[in-house]
Structure 1
Amino acid sequence: MRVVAGERKGMPLKAVSGTTTRPTTDKVKESIFNMIGPFFEGGIVLDLFAGSGALGIEALSRGAERAIFIEKDRRAFQVLKENIKKCRYEDRAEAYCTDALRGIKALLKRDIQLDYLFVDPPYKKLEYYDYILMLEEGGKLSKDAIIVCEHSFDVQLPQAYGRFTCIRSEKYGKTIISIYRMS
């Protein structure tokens, strides 16, 4: 696993050992960023269910201004912090070892607008995708926000989350990437 493009291109990232997380492959990560725009001019990223932090770190490497990482698994969180440090993004990253719901509730209290939201929960936990609505209804997603959901091929996500509509879905083996934008 590595950073695919941008200022940290080629930087190897540590993966979480064991089966508690499912890392996004470099091929899928590259496809995600080809779909949403290869490079950014600023913006704030939320990497929910961050695991090793590969998606948020990739966004930082490609020009995102800041990234917020939420990961509850302690081993994964330790790897996430190591990857942030290795890539020298400590000044542009916030990492929280907490469950997603608590992280969302904390974000709802902050004066913040998210431009990119990566949602990659455990595949069988469909209720976690409802956190998108909490952020949308709480006014935390900018009008130009892009939501990227990674899910199993046998999971059908809704066509819309509030004002955000699915504009594209692509299958990669047993994984589907669904992209949402404001309609």
Structure 2
Amino acid sequence: MRVAAGEAKGKRLRVPRGVAARPTQDRVREAIFNALADRVVDADVLDLFAGVGTLGIEALSRGARRSVFVELDPRAAAGLRANLHAAGFTGRAEVWRADALRALRRLEQRGDRFHLIFLDPPYRSGWLQRALRALAHSPVLRDDGLVVAEGARGEPVAVEGLEVTWQRTYGDTTVAFLRRAKGGSGEGRGVPGDL
């Protein structure tokens, strides 16, 4: 698997042995970034359930200002750090080895706001819905921000507070872009404790 375009085009991204990661397929990643177009340039990016960093590293390569990567699995996080080093992006990235919802709370406390948030949790684990519900109420997603959610074909992405603006299916994978619903704002809210 390689970075498809931009500054690190052609750099190989590796998945360490024993990591149960399911990196975004090349054609799906290409479709996502073609649809995002220039929205990536100068964006602050959050890559939740980052695995080995495929989506966030592609965003950095295509001109994102910075990316925070959140991955709970220690082996995947180590592979992510190695991939960032190989691509030359360690200075524009943070890697947090943490649970996604706890990380969102910490990011809120720090005052972080993101233009793009990538979600690629394990398929059919329930994490996609939990993370989307949390983001619908979190100021971490800028009011003009976009969530890029990847899940299994047929896995629901609709949640109150976010609206789907683009959705495509590629084989067994569905990708959706979501933004805050009209009139919705994450300002003054936070990730509910019971999600």
Say whether the fold is shared (TM-score over 0.5).
Answer: yes
Contact 1:66/1:93 (<8 A) preserved: yes
Amino acid in structure 1 at the alignment position of 2:167: S
1:117-132 correspondence runs (5 A): 117-132=117-132
Contact 2:104/2:140 (<8 A) preserved: no
1:87-106 correspondence runs (5 A): 87-106=87-106
Report the Cα offset of residue 176 of structure 1: 0.5
Unmatched runs of 5 consecutive residues or more in structure 1? none
User: Do the aligned partners of residues 166 and 79 (structure 1) sit closer, same or farther apart at CA in structure 2, a change above 3 Å counting?
Assistant: same
- Matches of 1:97 and 1:108, distance apart in 2: 17
Q: Work out which of the residue numbers 166, 169, 172 in structure 2 matches 1:168.
A: 166
Unmatched runs of 5 consecutive residues or more in structure 2? 183-195
- Matches of 2:86 and 2:127, distance apart in 1: 33
Contact 1:2/1:10 (<8 A) preserved: yes
Q: Which moved more, 1:16-25 or 1:73-82?
A: 16-25
- Matches of 1:127 and 1:84, distance apart in 2: 25
Q: Which residue matches 1:50?
A: 50
- Matches of 1:53 and 1:150, distance apart in 2: 14
Q: Which residue matches 1:79?
A: 79
Contact 1:104/1:131 (<8 A) preserved: no
CA-to-partner distance for each residue in 1:125-181, whole Å, 9 max, x for gaps? 2244322333342312112211111100131221x441x310111111100001112
User: Do the aligned partners of residues 138 and 156 (structure 1) sit closer, same or farther apart at CA in structure 2, a change above 3 Å counting?
Assistant: closer
Q: Which residue matches 1:134?
A: 134
SS at match of 1:75: helix
User: Do the aligned partners of residues 15 and 39 (structure 1) sit closer, same or farther apart at CA in structure 2, a change above 3 Å counting?
Assistant: farther
% identical equivalent positions:
38
Report the Cα offset of residue 39 of structure 1: 6.0
Amino acid in structure 2 at the alignment position of 1:174: D
Taking structure 1 as the reference length, the TM-score comes to 0.92
- Matches of 1:154 and 1:138, distance apart in 2: 25
SS at match of 2:110: coil
Q: CA RMSD in A?
A: 1.6
Report the Cα offset of residue 55 of structure 1: 0.2
Number of matched pairs: 181
